[in-house]
Amino acid sequence: MARDGEVKTQEKQQDLDKLNENIVKIEELSARLVAALAQKKPIPPSLQGPSQELFLKAASAYMAEMMNNPARVIEHQVSHWGKTLKHYVDAQQRLSHGDLTPPPDETPKDRRFQNPLWQSNPYFNFLKQQYMLNAEAMENAVTDLEGMDARDRRRVDYFTRQIIDMMSPTNFLATNPDALQHALETDGESLVKGLENLVRDLEDHHGEMIVNLADKEAFEVGRNIGTSKGSVVFRNRMFELIQYAPLTEEVHKTPLLIFPPWINKFYILDLREQNSLIKWITEQGYTVFVVSWVNPNEGYADVRMDDYVEEGFLTAIEQVKKITSEPKINVIGYCIAGTTLSITLGLMKQRGDTSVKSATFFTTLTDFSDQGEVGVFLDDDFVDGIEAEAKRTGLMKSLYMNRTFSYLRSNDLIYQPAIRSYMMGEAPPAFDLLYWNGDATNLPGKMAVQYLRGLCQRDELATSGFSICGTTVHLSDVTVPLCAIGCETDHIAAWDSSYNGIRQMGSKNKTFILSESGHIAGIVNPPSKKKYGHYTNTDLSLSPQEWKAGAQFHQGSWWPRWEKWLHARSGKMVPARQPGDSGAEILGPAPGNYVKSQATP
């Protein structure tokens, strides 16, 4: 018995020592937390949410509905009150009779509520059902509003959903059974680790509450991601040009130049050997070049779209022609770089420049008449705020773009990661795609505003024409043979809008491929994974819905189908070209220097 008492005493002492250690940690972390929050810079209200005008429109529409159709409003309210009261009474009656099982639960399945306690525990089940009833009431109230135009309705729907998602009981420690259970199992250690994660994220982002989605220490560009062999063969203030080392003895005569978006870094196309599109294309026998855009600072305040076209696209095309001694090349544009590539091709058409043999567009918007989900952020309230900030700082900082795209998938990219990191105390995963997602870039302020105003808001490229480099270009000016890939669940560049833009281009030789999945996974889809399939249909005279309804589905990646298309436009085979064999100066190994620069806070 004495021995048992000694063991218990030791265990109590160990628990006390652990508690004291955690208290010391909490005190240290609290001091760091205060210091990190002190770094936070003020953000203009116009960049944190929609203007008050939108809320006034919604309130006015609701008041008008109440005046003109009071029966419907009363019906909504009575229905919500009735369901809420019935659920409350059912739960109370069960508890009063000692029944600890929750009342019948007919709420829809939701992966946020996977813990069995959400179904079996009366407290957690009551919270979940009430949350779902409230969410349903809010959605119904907004859905039935009349007197609002379609665009305002879409924005009200979106921001209402943001409020609903934010208020989920899973987002709060006291109402999250997973976090509470884990805290008990770890004697509170998970909460201390969660606080450590929170402080680290605040310090990493200068006081901004941004969750690190991936372990930043697990990756280094050039060491274990972005590792395809090659050399930087040209550099100016806008980009570095990388030429990749051949992986075959012979290559197609016509080289291939890839323009990635400058709102992210190019190595999304070269994450790892298993899913590197750059490596795969090189393995098929092509001389591959890629543009690595500069991560601009305040010194780029006056850079415009014209500069990206002249000093970026046109200069890169000329350099590839010069290095390979070829009069024509093939090009790829991804996302915003595809949009700008279409502008560049229109300009080249007007100038009589036939340097481009064919063009491929990845998830590219050129017709902005339907802006898709991201359109809720493209009204004047947000764009005016971006323009004011651009005038003040010279930049559109990465923070605002990251937030915008994250809130399009807030449960996946904000709340769930925050729960795992801050409540569960889990370390961020070593996930290359999420690491890339957090490796952000700034944009020159004037260029960003020019893009947002002229293309996104006024849709000039598909309508009146977009002003660039002293002239005006239109989609009909794009006449080279082209292939476009859209992605079925793309929430950034909706595939049907991409398709509509391709239809308006002047080329007589067009191919459109629709990949399964989204903006990234639909493109970075190597054949070896055998994961996502794709659709084809040669009749581009059809509407998007008709095109898909009549399309043929193919299992597996679209990469081989596209390569077959590219093969026919890439000339005969010639001895493989090595970086530097043309006499071009080697400025350093791939992936270069520009890709490693970090965005200014």
Our CA dihedral for 94, 96, 97, 98, rounded to 10 degrees, sits at: 90
Q: How high is the pLDDT of residue 299?
A: 93
**pLDDT per residue as tens digits for the range 333-378:** 999 999 999 999 999 999 999 999 999 999 999 999 988 888 899 9
Contact 135, 113 (CB under 8 A): no
Q: How many CB atoms lie within 10 A of CB 90?
A: 15
pLDDT band at 82 (very low <50, low <70, confident <90, very high): confident
User: Are the C-beta atoms of 582 and 321 separated by less than 8 Å?
Assistant: no
Lowest mean pLDDT among 43-47, 291-295, 494-498: 43-47
Stretch among 88-97, 375-384, 424-433 having the lowest mean pLDDT? 88-97
The pLDDT value given to residue 19: 65
Closest CA to 254 of 289, 205, 229: 289
CB within 8 A of 316, min separation 6: which ones?
234, 239, 241, 257, 259, 289, 291
pLDDT exceeds 80 at position 427: yes
Structure confidence by residue, pLDDT tens digits, 88-118: 888 888 888 888 888 888 899 999 999 999 9
pLDDT (0 to 100) of residue 188: 85
Residue 591: is the preceding peptide bond cis (ω within 30°)?
Answer: yes
Q: What angle do CA 399, 305, 255 make, to 5 degrees?
A: 100
Lowest pLDDT segment from 28-32, 257-261, 342-346, 551-555:
28-32
Closest CA to 197 of 177, 215, 173, 171: 215
Q: What is the pLDDT of residue 7?
A: 56
pTM of structure: 0.91
φ and ψ at residue 333, rounded to 5 degrees: -125, 130
The residue with greater pLDDT, 268 or 145, is 268
Encode 185-231 in three state secondary structure: HCCCHHHHHHHHHHHHHHHHCCCCCCCCCCCCCCCCECCCECCCCEE
**How high is the pLDDT of residue 127?**
95
**Would you state the pLDDT for residue 478?**
98
Please check the confidence at residue 10 and state whether its pLDDT lies above 70.
no
Q: Is a pLDDT exceeding 60 seen at residue 223? A: yes
The pLDDT tens digits for 470-522 are 999 999 999 999 999 999 999 999 999 999 999 999 999 999 999 999 999 99
Percent of the chain predicted with pLDDT > 70: 97
Question: What does the pLDDT average to over 450-455?
Answer: 96
pLDDT for the residue numbered 503? 97
Average pLDDT over residues 26-44: 87
CA distance 473 to 468: 7
- Residue 327: left if φ>0, alpha if ψ -120 to 50, beta else—which one? alpha
Structure confidence at residue 319 as a pLDDT band (50, 70, 90): very high
Nearest C-alpha neighbor of 216 from the set 440, 420, 400: 440
pLDDT tens digits, residue range 531-556? 999 999 999 999 999 999 999 999 99
Tell me the pLDDT of the chain averaged across its residues: 92
Q: How far apart are CA 339 and CA 333, in angstroms?
A: 7
How many whole angstroms separate alpha carbon 230 and alpha carbon 271? 15
The pLDDT of residue 166 is above 80: yes
| CA dihedral of residues 520, 523, 527, 531 (deg, nearest 10) | 50
Q: CATH says 230-369+459-596 is which class?
A: alpha beta
* Tally of residues, the chain: 601
Residue 9 above 90 pLDDT? no
> How confident is residue 600, by pLDDT bands cut at 50, 70 and 90?
low
How confident is the model over 50-66, as a mean pLDDT?
84
Question: What percent of the chain clears pLDDT 90, i.e. is strictly above it?
Answer: 70
pLDDT of residue 2 exceeding 60: no
For the cut 90, the answer to whether the pLDDT of residue 577 exceeds it is yes
Q: Please pick, among 335, 456, 483, 487, the residue that the annotation labels catalytic.
A: 335
Per-residue confidence (pLDDT) for residue 54, from 0 to 100:
87
The residue whose two tokens read 């989900």 is 373
The span from the CA of 419 to the CA of 190, in Å, is 11
Mean of pLDDT values over 34-47: 86
Does residue 456 carry a catalytic annotation? no
398: enclosing H helix or E strand: helix 398-407
- Residue tagged 């972005």 (tokens): 226
